[in-house]
Amino acid sequence: MEARTETVTVADGSFDLHLWLPPSGRGPVVLLVQEIFGVGPYIRKVAEDLAALGYVVGAPDLFWRLHPNWVSGHDEAGVARSMELVSTFDVPQGVADAAMALAHLRKLPEAAEDAAGVVGFCLGGSIGYLLAATMELDAVASFYGSALPDATGMMEKITGPLLIVFGGSDPFIPREQVAAVEEAAAGRPNVEMYVAEEAGHAFHNHEAPQFYDPVAAENAWARTVAFLGRHLKPGSPGTSAPEDDARP
């Protein structure tokens, strides 16, 4: 699978945008937004899975102002260091960086026209949701974003398709907070919710044994794949790589 690193330039510097291309060389774009552990093995594996489905996937290094190319382990020490780092992270600035990264993705020659989505996990789930409230997107999948319970009022600003995923036994996001998100989503035709009742936080992260729930992960991922497929339509006419646009 072809992969490379792009550079996104913003007013106060530049950051890496890690890129994975589908087998066809062209497709709808998906911005993949990291957890607190950085663009590490887990996010890279998710990116490969999405690219294999036909998407042009970009994962920005959102911690670049604090610790460029931060990657942490999932042991107790790694979790503690990541939590310390994210405590100083400017979320609105992260949303702005994500928007710039998405704009960069959309301009790539491999990007299919007029099809863009976001998939975010943990911190990235919050950023994806907040980004959807500021711009029109074709599909957003938000996994266990801790910002959502306090930002349910922003849901009315999201008009594009939105999939929200939580663990029902998440010690970091109590079930009553998840219920508040469910209540806000009720009756909104553009919003789907999936709550894996027995799963905790970060249950899709196969690199973190203390969090991973294989059954919940499989179910949530199947829903995500179907959701993205309905709205981004990878492999539809116009998403194969024209000879003039294909990169060696």
pLDDT in tens, 96-143: 999 999 999 999 999 997 899 999 999 999 999 999 999 999 999 999
What secondary structure does DSSP assign to 75-92, as a single string? SHHHHHHHHHHHTT--HH
3-state secondary structure of 63: coil
How many whole angstroms separate alpha carbon 78 and alpha carbon 53?
31
Residue 244 is predicted with a pLDDT of 36
Residue 170 near residue 176, CB atoms below 8 Å:
no
As beta bridge partners, residue 117 has 30, 139
How many whole angstroms separate alpha carbon 42 and alpha carbon 175?
26
Where are the chain's structural domains?
Answer: 3-232
Over residues 168-177, the mean pLDDT reads: 98
At residue 206 the predicted structure's pLDDT band, cuts being 50, 70 and 90, is very high
In CATH terms, 3-232 corresponds, of 3.30.200.190, 3.20.20.70, 3.40.50.720, 3.40.50.1820, to 3.40.50.1820
Q: Tokens for 64, please give them.
A: 């670049």
Residue 66 near residue 89, CB atoms below 8 Å:
yes
Look up residue 18 and give its amino acid. Answer: H
| Closest by CA position to 149, among listed 110, 108, 195, 100 | 195
Residue 248 is predicted with a pLDDT of 27
DSSP state of 35: B
Instruction: Supply the pTM of this predicted model.
Output: 0.94
Residue 29 near residue 106, CB atoms below 8 Å:
yes
